[in-house]
Amino acid sequence: MTDSGDDARRLALRKMLARSVAAGSDAAVLACAFFGLWQQTAGQLEPVIGARGVDVLFSRALHLTSRRFPWLPSAADGNNVAPLEVLQTCLAGRSAAEARDAGEMLLLTFTGLLAGMVGQSLTARMLGASWTVCDIHASSKEPVAAQSTST
């Protein structure tokens, strides 16, 4: 995973958030915005990797993010993803700074996991135009990891 891909997605996410919420918005507004961004991102990916594929990545992202933000709802186990509503309520109950940091980290961890699986270039393509506002396309595909080429 290259840092440039992560940085570009961070920038794109902040731009998307800035379009959705005014500066100085409270946690409830931010939680609502993250909820919308999450739905948009999941909607973009589900046709390709399926709802279950999205859920599994989300569970893992939530688990990793909760190490830094232990107050986030737990994913219980791999099969039962915490409902987005619960997450939204949880974010809304924190300070604006906490809600922003946790929401941002969760989405970036999620997209980072996706990039780790299928590479930055394909991730950019799968996430769609809103995430590529900063041109996070790599011009050519990059190796996702050292792998055998047999199936």
Residue 50 binds another protein (CB under 8 A)? yes
CA 94 – CA 54 distance, rounded (Å): 26
Which CB, 88 or 120, lies closer to another protein?
120
Shortest gap between Cβ of 139 and another protein (angstroms)? 9
88 binds another protein (CB under 8 A): no
Q: Cα dist. 40→33, 68, 130, 138, 148 in Å?
A: 11, 25, 9, 22, 34
Binder to another protein among 3, 23, 77, 147 (CB under 8 A)?
A: 147
Q: Could you tell me which of 102, 115, 98, 121 has the C-alpha nearest to residue 38?
A: 102
Q: Which of 3, 22, 47, 77 binds another protein (CB under 8 A)?
A: 47
Size of the site for another protein (CB under 8 A): 25
Question: For residues 56 and 49, is the Cβ–Cβ distance under 8 A?
Answer: no
Does 48 sit near another protein (CB under 8 A)?
yes
Using rule CB under 8 A, residue 119 touches another protein: yes
